[in-house]
Amino acid sequence: MFQMGTQRFPDEATQAGENGAGGMVDTPRIGPVMWFLLLLLAVPPGVLAAARRAMGEAGPSVALIVVFFLPFFVMLLVLPRRYRLDGSALTIEGLFYRKRIPVEKIRAVRRAGLWPALTRLGSVYCSDPSKALEVQVEGGGSVIISPSEPEEFAKRVMALSGGGGSHAAPAKRDA
């Protein structure tokens, strides 16, 4: 039985609870900043639709309105659905993707500020910038995630990866 939202998945012990040796499953929430950005993406097509209604056939075309709505729907589709942490990997699961990061490749986990959580390429997996964690991996790369309990998630990631780096350092405001 597959249910969306905060319901249990059939393979979970609990929603944000244990999942094997020190693991956990976390369902991220969309934070207020992300909702604001989504709203901003919905405003231009709304204005175009209102203009079309007011101006009739002389207004913007339906195709133009659809094109402006696409970023809104694409953004909703690519947001992460779950973060799964087990003894071997941190897995980021979305509707159309699954990114697996082996725990032995994780070098550090620390809080990320609002600016990096919104602008870095690796922030595509972040749905709530106020709870952003930067997961630094071997080779100099990083991904930014936003588990519902960042400090607890960071501690568990570092415990599984051998504790070779920092975890949940105080949040940086901008950088």
Q: Flag whether pLDDT at 59 surpasses 90.
A: no
Query: Do 122 and 109 fall into the same domain?
Result: yes
Q: What is the CATH number of the domain that holds 136?
A: 2.30.29.30
- Mean pLDDT of all residues in 107-118: 89
Query: 156 or 44: which carries more pLDDT confidence?
Result: 156
- Mean pLDDT of all residues in 122-141: 89
Q: Which helix (H) or strand (E) holds 114?
A: helix 114-119
Cβ contact 49:65 at 8 Å = yes
Query: Do 145 and 103 fall into the same domain?
Result: yes
Query: Do 93 and 151 fall into the same domain?
Result: yes
Tell me, yes or no, whether 101 lies in a domain. Answer: yes
User: What is the predicted pLDDT for the residue at 7?
Assistant: 35
Count of domains in the chain?
Answer: 2
Tell me, yes or no, whether 152 lies in a domain. Answer: yes
Query: Do 59 and 117 fall into the same domain?
Result: no
Average pLDDT, the chain: 76
97: helix, strand or coil = coil
108: helix, strand or coil = strand
What are the residues whose beta carbons fall under 8 Å from the beta carbon of 97, sequence distance 6 or more? 78
Tell me, yes or no, whether 62 lies in a domain. Answer: yes
Query: Do 105 and 153 fall into the same domain?
Result: yes
What one-character DSSP code corresponds to residue 169?
A: P
Query: Do 108 and 156 fall into the same domain?
Result: yes
Q: Flag whether pLDDT at 105 surpasses 80.
A: yes
Tell me, yes or no, whether 37 lies in a domain. Answer: yes
Tell me, yes or no, whether 94 lies in a domain. Answer: yes
Alpha-carbon distance 8 to 170, whole Å?
31
List, in sequence order, every beta strand (DSSP E) within 54-127. Answer: 82-85, 89-93, 98-102, 106-111
What pLDDT digit, counting tens, does each position of 87-100 carry? 899 999 988 889 99
Tell me, yes or no, whether 11 lies in a domain. Answer: no
> What is the residue range of 39's domain?
33-76
Tell me, yes or no, whether 138 lies in a domain. Answer: yes
Alpha-carbon distance 127 to 79, whole Å?
6
Query: Do 86 and 150 fall into the same domain?
Result: yes
Poorest-pLDDT segment among 10-14, 42-46, 65-69, 112-116: 10-14
Query: Do 71 and 86 fall into the same domain?
Result: no
What are the residues whose beta carbons fall under 8 Å from the beta carbon of 14, sequence distance 6 or more? 8, 25
What pLDDT digit, counting tens, does each position of 4-48 carry? 333 334 444 443 444 445 567 877 777 777 777 777 777 777 777
Query: Do 40 and 111 fall into the same domain?
Result: no
What is the residue-wise DSSP string for 13-26? SSSSSB-SSS-EEE
pTM for the whole structure: 0.65
